[in-house]
Amino acid sequence: GMTEAILWDNGNAKQLNPVGLVKDISDSGHAVGYARDGSRWCPYLWENGNSVNLGILSGWRQGFANALNSKDQVVGWCDSTTAFVYRAFLWQDGVLSDLDDLLPAGSGWELTYAMDINETGQIVGIGNFGGQRHAFLMTRVPEPSTLLGLLCGIVALCAREAAKARQNHNRLPAFLKGL
């Protein structure tokens, strides 16, 4: 028979539905894993007594959630109907993304398993590069628009500080202004 997934919360046992396999739990008590949805396995997030089917990447057969962080960013993988073909995914804010789609074009990587994610969003797993299987560490780089916004903020801060310095210079005694 099927083993039941139970979450212990302050001495109380809570059965996780749908019944599945839990792979990871966050400090907030949210859990991820996978459960049957009809004839296929689907990745699930269990939070606050609710279950969320995270979905499956388009064109793939079934999926498995493996880990999450405190921001409820979930990683895992999907498999295809073709034997031994897998694809790593990231689920965040209700959106399931193929990790390969987050790589620069022409990187040569095919990310097959996402094993864990930390609090800063770094993902570790297994992938293929140059026909060889390798471990990977994926660190997301901010979008150019985010970097541009940061740069504008730094320029504005420097301009403000320069204006303050000029104001303070005008308040100095005359004998110090030449220094």
Classify 110 as helix, strand or coil. strand
* Higher pLDDT among residues 2 and 82, named by residue: 82
Residue 176's pLDDT is 46
Q: What is the pLDDT of residue 149?
A: 53
For residue 42, the model assigns a pLDDT of: 92
What is this structure's pTM? 0.74
What pLDDT sits at residue 172? 54
| 9-67: pLDDT as tens digits | 778 777 777 677 889 999 888 999 998 888 889 999 988 878 899 999 998 999 999 99
pLDDT digits (tens, 9 = 90+) for 131-169: 999 999 999 766 555 545 555 555 555 556 656 666 665
| Three-state secondary structure of 52-95 | EECCCCCCCCEEEEEEECCCCCEEEEEECCCCCCEEEEEEECCE
Residues 6+ apart with CB under 8 A from 67: 23, 24, 32, 74, 75, 76, 114, 115, 116, 117
Residue in 91, 97, 88 with CA at minimum distance from that of residue 135: 88
